[in-house]
Amino acid sequence: MTQVVLALVLGLLFALGTFLVLRRDVVRVVWGVTIISQSANVYLVTMGGLSGTVPILGHGVPGAPGAVTDPLVQALVLTAIVIGFGTTAFALVLTYRVYEEHGTIDLHDLGRAADAEAEADGGVDR
């Protein structure tokens, strides 16, 4: 049951993240990327299996000693969360810097500025 609920939640989170990443507003894109990376963390926990008791043995915890939850995924998720903090902070600072430089955080306008520049350069790409 938990498995099904988590799968649904994961699907929803990924859909929401993808939706936000496709927005024009850079701040929403940051939100989208954050949600996607957080749902990757939830996915990691799910992958470790949800059955079993707490991974500490011999403290009168009910259940067979073999049936503990995998503690490794939780260590992995902790690492990933910390990295996620760092990257989110950087993404927000970068967004502010983009606003300072361009006066807009609309990706459409940023793209237009790039096109105009390329036109002036006579460049062909983009």
Partner 1 sequence: MSVVVVGPLLVALFTAIVTLALRRWGPVQRAASLVGSILYLGVVALLIRDVRADEAGYLVYQLSNWQAPYGISLVADDLAVLMLALTAVVSLLAVVFSARYIDEEGQRLSYHPLYHLMVAGITGSFLTGDIFNLFVWFEVMLMSSYVLVVFYSGPEETRAALHYAFLNLIGSAVMLLAIGGLYATTGTLNMADMAQRLGAPGQYGVDLPAVLGLSALLLSVFALKAGIVPFQFWVPDAYRAAPAPVAAMLAGVVKKVGVYAIIRLYFTVFAAASLPNLSGFGGGGELGFLAFFGPVFFLMALGSVVVGGFGAVARKDLDGLLAYSSIGQVGFIVLPLAVAASVPADSSIRTLGVVAALVYSVNHGIAKSLLFFVSGAIQGAVGSVDFEDLGGLAEREPLLSGTFFVGALALIGIPPLSGFFGKLLVFDAAVQAQSALALGVSLGGAILTIAYFTLAWSRGFWSEPGMAVEGTRADRSLVGVAAVLAVLIVVFGVGFGPLLELAEDAAVAATETQGYIDAVLGGEA
Q: Coil, strand, or helix at residue 53?
A: strand
Which is nearer to partner 1, 53 or 91 (by Cβ)? Answer: 91
Please report, as residue ranges, which positions from 54 to 93 form the binding site for partner 1 (by CB under 8 A): 72-73, 76, 79-80, 83, 86-87, 90-91
User: If phi over 0 gives left and psi between -120 and 50 gives alpha, with beta otherwise, what is residue 49?
Assistant: left
DSSP 3-39: HHHHHHHHHHHHHHHHHHHTSSBHHHHHHHHHHHHHH
Residues found near partner 1 in the complex (CB under 8 A): 21, 26, 29, 33, 36-37, 40-41, 43-44, 47-49, 72-73, 76, 79-80, 83, 86-87, 90-91, 94-95, 97-98, 101-102, 110, 113-114, 117, 121-125
